[in-house]
Structure formats: C-alpha cells, structure tokens
Amino acid sequence: MTIDRIVMMFAGIVILASLGMSQVHHVYWLFLTAFVGANLLQASITGFCPLVKILKLFGSKPGPAFS
C-alpha cells in the first residue's frame, strides 16, 4: 500500500471516528474533524503532511502525490 492510500485511509478513519464520538460522548469531538480537514487542506496547498514524514521513516513506499 502506498503512502497516498494510507494517508487517505487514516484521515477517513479519524473523521468517521470523531463524528461517531461526537454523537456518543460530546460535540467537542467535532474539533478533531475540523483539524483533520484543515490539515488536508494545508497539505494540498503546501505539500507538507506530518503523517507522510512518519510513514517514510517506517519505509512505506511513496505514491504519485507524495514522491
């Protein structure tokens, strides 16, 4: 699996989990959803994503977007 797919999967899991937590526990979990969305937006503009740096350290192969 490439870094691109891992980043998209991780973002999707965190968004869905935070939406679920906001319904079960507290509405403040939506701030995590907003944070992930803001991080995706800035990564699309700047090309910098902290998760990509971590995944490269663990040896994941880059895809076309993060090579």
Residue 22 lies in a domain: yes
Tokens of 11: 């973002």
Residue 62 lies in a domain: no
DSSP designation for 49: -
Quote the pLDDT of residue 65.
72
Structural domain span for residue 50: 3-57
Question: For residue 51, which amino acid is it?
Answer: L
Residue 66 lies in a domain: no
Residue 20 lies in a domain: yes
Tell me, yes or no, if the pTM score tops 0.85: no
- Check if the beta carbon of residue 66 is closer than 8 Å to that of residue 7: yes
Residue 23 lies in a domain: yes
Which secondary structure element, helix H or strand E, spans residue 21, and what is its range? Answer: helix 3-24
Q: Kindly report, residue by residue over 3-57, the tens digit of the pLDDT.
A: 989 999 999 999 999 999 999 999 999 999 999 999 999 998 998 989 999 999 9
Question: For residue 9, which amino acid is it?
Answer: M
Quote the pLDDT of residue 63.
81
